[in-house]
Amino acid sequence: MDRHSPDPGAAGFSAINNNTEASLLLSQIDSRSPILPQHRSLSPKSTSYASIPLPDDGPASLPTSRRKWTRPIITAAAATWRFLKGPSPPIKTYIQPLFPHLQSAPSRLLSRLLPKSRHRRLLQLAFWALWLTIFCIITHWSRFRTSVGGVHATSDGGGVRQLTCSSTLWARNNGCGLNGDGCRPFLTTAATPFRCPSGCISSGKLLNPRQVGNQTLVYQQMVVGGPALDIPESVVAYGSRYRADSAICATAIHAGVISDLFGGCGLLLQTGPTTGLVSSKRHGIVSAGFDAAFPSTFTFLRPPPGTELQGCLDLRWHLLPITSLFTFLQALLSTQAATFFGTVFVGIFWHVGLMSDPPPAQYNRNDQFEIVSIVAGRFLPAAFVMYLFYLHVLGPIWAGNTSRNWLTGLAVERAVYLLFGWWFGALNNVTFAKIIPLQRLTPHDLANQPGAKPALGIVITCLVLIAFGQIYFLRREGRLLKYLGMYAAFGTGLLVFTFALKEMNVRIHHYILAILLLPGTKLGSRPSLVYQGLLLGLFVNGAARWGFASLLETKGLLLGD
């Protein structure tokens, strides 16, 4: 073979020898050189790797310093997430009935007396028929049978005038014009019969300032004038004069013609201009004095002897114990949650709409059938919302998650906790409205209305305590994160409305409050039963009395009177 011909094997062997010699030489230089970094030999027993840092690598301490402040944040976030997720597995909340055998005694007695389901259905129908009959009779005599001396209220505005607590002879917002010419006549010779509802001391207060001479009236009844100071309160002040812009029903209570508890009828006579109206305090109402002239006044006349007054009393307080008794019996004897819920809702809704807190007629205040039309128009949407409540919030809990024997073992507790809260919320005009004297969350009301700031503080404190209690049970059941996300979305939406539409005001009405908070009561606990009742009652009162008012209101609507 030519010695100059290439030999691949020899060439490869030569390259390997050269690489080996170079590696040995580099390791010897590396061990003796103070300039080059020393390298650890790589052996199967060693897992350390050496590298020569390049100029672009940057300082080696940066990742370590970054981990010093990010690691606590990550650790805290992970711990918070684990806490909010709750225990694993989740702990279901149940109500252990107190004396379940005694609580189920009424339903067991009913099943023993009427063993066939057909007979129990007939009894339920008879129960509804009796309830409806009593309700219609009392409502008819309270709303549709008013007469004074044989003169009845008519739908065309004649006869007995059906007034509200804020009705006056003087038009609001300067509607009478210059010198009051738009509200003539100021003097009449014939008396006008009228009828006032119950509760005008609390519901007829002014929400905005009224100037009466050098006095400013606000958060009180608009009553100017009255009897002399030497007339005792026990004497009915017939013939005493009041300014025409005074609230007629509050004035009649002040004079002693009617009572605040039951309302009543009277005869009103317009007496023309007068001067020297005095201030006095009678029957819980303080009237303002006015010593200047006013073009129109009125007084109350004593009914002639033999005058028959029919249907004058407001019978809401007579009907309340009857309706409460029927709802309690339904809760005590029901063996189906849907029957109990539907019956109680229908009964309380119509009780609020026609008796305890009826809405005012919008077109003809003398037509009581218009009130029936208004309540009927609000009933169907309210029933649909309540159906959704039952389907998604209340029904799943009542069907078995609250107690393993909800329908019978908790019959008495269900009637007490749930119905008490339901009635307390439905009678909002005589419960919350008197306990918490705060109708509008405006800076003016918070600064000037007596008791507004303490009332707001009490409300916030109660809501915070209730929220912590519900959060505790929701976390135990592993549902807290879902509800926190839902309420965060609600709050974000309200903030968007508040700041995006600055010309309007966000007002959370009764029914909106119930819709927002009722999902948070989807728990099997006794406090949740009370909260469910309160929110259901607030929804019924808001829908029946005020309707489904807008979440966004103009400043004029928020102003009220």
Q: Which of 164-173, 231-240, 496-505 has the lowest mean pLDDT?
A: 496-505
Beta pairing class for 281-282 and 505-506:
unpaired
Helix (H) or strand (E) run with residue 247 in it: none
Nearest partner of 253 among 141, 165, 193, 317, judged by Cα? 165
Nearest partner of 197 among 269, 268, 260, judged by Cα? 260
Q: Which residue did the predictor score with more confidence, 34 or 314?
A: 314
Q: Mark 244-270 as b/e (b = at least 16 C-beta within 10 Å).
A: bbbbbbbbbbbbbbbebebbbbbbbbb
Q: Are 240 and 225 in contact (CB under 8 A)?
A: yes
d(CA 142, CA 203): 19
Q: Beta partners for 267? A: 193, 301
Can you give the pLDDT at residue 64? 60
Can you give the pLDDT at residue 268? 94
Q: Are 525 and 473 in contact (CB under 8 A)?
A: yes
Q: pLDDT band for position 330 (50/70/90)?
A: very high
Tens of pLDDT, residue by residue over 112-131, are: 998 888 999 999 999 999 99
**Rg for the chain, CA atoms, rounded:** 39
Q: Are 409 and 97 in contact (CB under 8 A)?
A: yes
Tens of pLDDT, residue by residue over 24-78, are: 444 444 444 444 444 444 444 444 444 445 455 444 444 566 667 788 888 888 8
Phi-psi region of 149 (alpha: psi -120 to 50; beta: other; left: phi over 0): left
Which pTM was predicted?
A: 0.83
Tens of pLDDT, residue by residue over 192-228, are: 999 999 999 988 888 888 889 889 998 899 999 999 8
Q: What sign results for the dihedral spanned by CA atoms 205, 148, 312, 349? A: negative
CA angle 352, 454, 357 (to 5 degrees): 10
d(CA 280, CA 344): 45
Q: Which of 307-311, 359-363, 498-502 has the lowest mean pLDDT?
A: 498-502
Query: Could you check whether the bond before residue 89 is cis, i.e. omega within 30 degrees of 0?
Result: yes
Can you give the pLDDT at residue 440? 76
User: Helix (H, G, I), strand (E, B), or coil: what is residue 210?
Assistant: strand
Most confident stretch, 42-56, 63-77, 251-265, 390-404: 251-265
Alpha carbon distances (Å) from 420 to 95, 137, 146, 533, 551: 18, 25, 33, 7, 28
As given in the structure block, the two tokens for residue 279 are 């201030």
d(CA 423, CA 138): 19
Full DSSP string of 108-141: HHHHHH--SHHHHHHHHHHHHHHHHHHHHHHHHH
Measured from the Cβ of residue 198, the count of other Cβ atoms closer than 10 Å reads 24
Can you give the pLDDT at residue 44? 44
Nearest partner of 402 among 243, 232, 530, 495, judged by Cα? 530
Measured from the Cβ of residue 497, the count of other Cβ atoms closer than 10 Å reads 14
Measured in Å, how far apart are the chain's first and last C-alpha atoms?
Answer: 122
Alpha carbon distances (Å) from 88 to 85, 162, 470, 478, 524: 8, 63, 19, 8, 19
CA angle 142, 144, 145 (to 5 degrees): 80
Q: At which residue do the structure tokens 């011909």 appear?
A: 5
Nearest partner of 354 among 125, 130, 137, judged by Cα? 137
Within the chain, all domains assigned CATH 2.170.130.20 are found at 149-310
Provide the percentage of residues in the chain whose pLDDT is more than 70: 85
Can you give the pLDDT at residue 47? 43
Tens of pLDDT, residue by residue over 140-181, are: 999 888 888 777 766 665 678 889 999 999 988 888 988 888
Provide the percentage of residues in the chain whose pLDDT is more than 90: 44
d(CA 406, CA 200): 42
Q: pLDDT band for position 406 (50/70/90)?
A: low
As given in the structure block, the two tokens for residue 216 are 């400013």
| CATH superfamily, domain at 149-310 | LCCL-like domain (2.170.130.20)
Nearest partner of 379 among 402, 408, 351, judged by Cα? 351
Q: Mark 388-421 as b/e (b = at least 16 C-beta within 10 Å).
A: ebbeebbeebbeebbbeebbbbbbbbbbbbbbbb
Nearest partner of 156 among 373, 364, 371, judged by Cα? 364
d(CA 249, CA 265): 10
Tens of pLDDT, residue by residue over 272-294, are: 998 889 999 999 999 999 999 99
As given in the structure block, the two tokens for residue 186 are 């100021």
